């Protein structure tokens, strides 16, 4: 797999006169793991909204490989190979953990294909494997609605894994996790990167440090600084707006 790069160039998003993204440019190379940090309201989630088709940019270019993402709707972008984990974990409460993962599992998405879908042994094994990876094996047949916040967080990560996307957008995965879980998540994301590209938004700097990769700092909708965690932590502009507070 040669993989596709993600390009954002001069992207702006204006909500009622407020610039949530302001001339944002960012390139994520195939296989790269990129951490994005920034204070509340910096535009991190909005950036993901733009990439996944939820929000149309007011200006700028968003491309995945050769594909212009601004022309596509959410399902088309998702089937293109871009998966997303939401900041506020969103799973299907009435369905079981297993069923949530089954829906996420990479497979044809049309109505007829879903009617005809037969859970093969291979698919079942894959779901079981993901269920174990996210530590929900004992809860596999419980409705997602009765899971704790942390477990929902894990389920969403599991859904992202089951989807097997080429680019993973992960919004605040470790919020509410224990230290051990945080470490596990970091190791998992590092393991995924290489064959997949990963963009992870996080406030937890320990976590970002554990990832040990390039960091982009967003502020007021544009890139304030970019580089290693040590580089950005010592950047005076970053210290001023974010770390120094």
Partner 1 sequence: MSVALSAPPPSRLRLGLRAGLGVAVLLLAALPTLNALPADHALHVSDFIVSVTGKWICYAILALSLDLAWGYAGILSLGHGAFFALGGYAMGMHLMRLIGPRGAYGHPVLPDFMVFLGYTDLPWFWQGFQYFPYAMLMVLLVPGALALVVGFLAFRSRITGVYLSILTQAMTYALMLAFFRNDMGFGGNNGFTDFKELLGMPLGTPAARAMLFYASLVALVGSFLICAALTRTKYGRVLTAIRDAESRARFLGYDTTQHKLFAFVLSAMLAGLAGALYVPQVGIINPGEFSPGNSIEAVIWVAVGGRGTLAGAVLGAFSVNALKTWLTSAAPDLWLFVLGGLFVAVTLFLPRGLIGLFDRLRRRRAS
Residues that bind Mg ion in the complex, under the rule CB under 5 A = 44-45, 87
Within 10 angstroms of residue 234's Cβ, the number of other Cβ atoms is 13
- Please identify which residue in 15, 109, 114, 240 interacts with ligand ATP, judged by CB under 6 A: 15
Tokens describing residue 169: 């957008």
Site mask, ligand ATP, residues 46-85, x = CB under 6 A? Answer: x---------------------------------------
Site mask, ligand ATP, residues 133-172, x = CB under 6 A? Answer: ----------------------------------------
Q: Where are the alpha helices (DSSP H) in 117-234?
A: 121-133, 149-163, 179-192, 205-211, 229-234
Q: Where are the alpha helices (DSSP H) in 18-138?
A: 44-51, 74-80, 97-104, 111-116, 121-133
Taking the least distance from each CB to Mg ion, the nearer of 82 and 169 is 169
Question: Residue 23's binding partner, choosing from ligand ATP, Mg ion, partner 1, none, with beta-carbon cut-off 5 to 8 A by kind?
Answer: none
Residue 108 Cβ, how far from partner 1 at the closest point, in Å? 10
- Rule CB under 6 A: is residue 117 a binding residue for ligand ATP? no
- Rule CB under 8 A: is residue 95 a binding residue for partner 1? yes
Residue 178 Cβ, how far from partner 1 at the closest point, in Å? 23
Q: Long-range contact list for 205-213, CB < 8 A, 24+ apart?
A: 205/37, 205/229, 205/233, 205/243, 206/182, 207/174, 207/182, 208/35, 208/37, 210/182, 210/183, 210/186, 211/33, 211/35, 211/186, 213/32, 213/33, 213/34, 213/35
* Distance, CA of 146 to CA of 43 (rounded, Å): 31
Residue 179 Cβ, how far from Mg ion at the closest point, in Å? 22
Q: Is 221 left (phi over 0), alpha (psi -120 to 50) or beta?
A: left
- Rule CB under 8 A: is residue 200 a binding residue for partner 1? no
- Please identify which residue in 117, 120, 146, 237 interacts with partner 1, judged by CB under 8 A: 117
Q: Name which of residues 20 to 79 contact partner 1 (CB under 8 A).
A: 52, 54, 73-76, 78-79
- Rule CB under 8 A: is residue 87 a binding residue for partner 1? no
- Please identify which residue in 12, 45, 151, 222 interacts with ligand ATP, judged by CB under 6 A: 45
Q: Are 202 and 232 in contact (CB under 8 A)?
A: no
Taking the least distance from each CB to partner 1, the nearer of 127 and 210 is 127
């Amino acid at each position: 797999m040669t993989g596709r790069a993600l390009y954002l160039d001069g992207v702006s998003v204006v909500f009622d006169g407020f610039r949530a993204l302001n001339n944002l440019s960012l390139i994520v190379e195939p296989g790269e793991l990129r951490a994005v940090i920034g204070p509340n309201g910096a535009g991190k989630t909005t950036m993901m909204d733009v990439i996944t088709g939820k929000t149309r940019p007011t200006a700028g270019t968003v491309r995945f490989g050769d594909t212009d993402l601004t022309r596509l709707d959410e399902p088309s972008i998702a089937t293109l190979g871009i998966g997303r984990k939401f900041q506020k974990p969103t799973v299907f409460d009435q369905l079981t953990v297993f069923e949530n993962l089954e829906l996420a599992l990479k497979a044809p998405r049309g109505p007829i294909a879903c009617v005809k879908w037969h859970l093969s042994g291979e698919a079942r094994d894959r779901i079981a494997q993901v269920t174990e990876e996210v530590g929900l094996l004992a809860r596999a047949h419980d409705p997602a609605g009765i899971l704790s916040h942390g477990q929902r967080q894990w389920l969403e990560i599991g859904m992202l894994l089951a989807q097997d996307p080429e680019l993973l957008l992960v919004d605040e995965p470790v919020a509410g996790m224990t230290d051990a879980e945080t470490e596990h998540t970091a190791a998992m994301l590092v393991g995924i990167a290489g064959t997949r590209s990963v963009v992870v938004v996080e406030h937890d700097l320990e976590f970002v440090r554990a990832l040990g990769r390039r960091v982009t700092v967003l502020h007021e909708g544009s890139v304030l600084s970019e580089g290693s965690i040590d580089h950005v932590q010592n950047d005076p502009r970053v210290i001023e707006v974010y770390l120094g507070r």
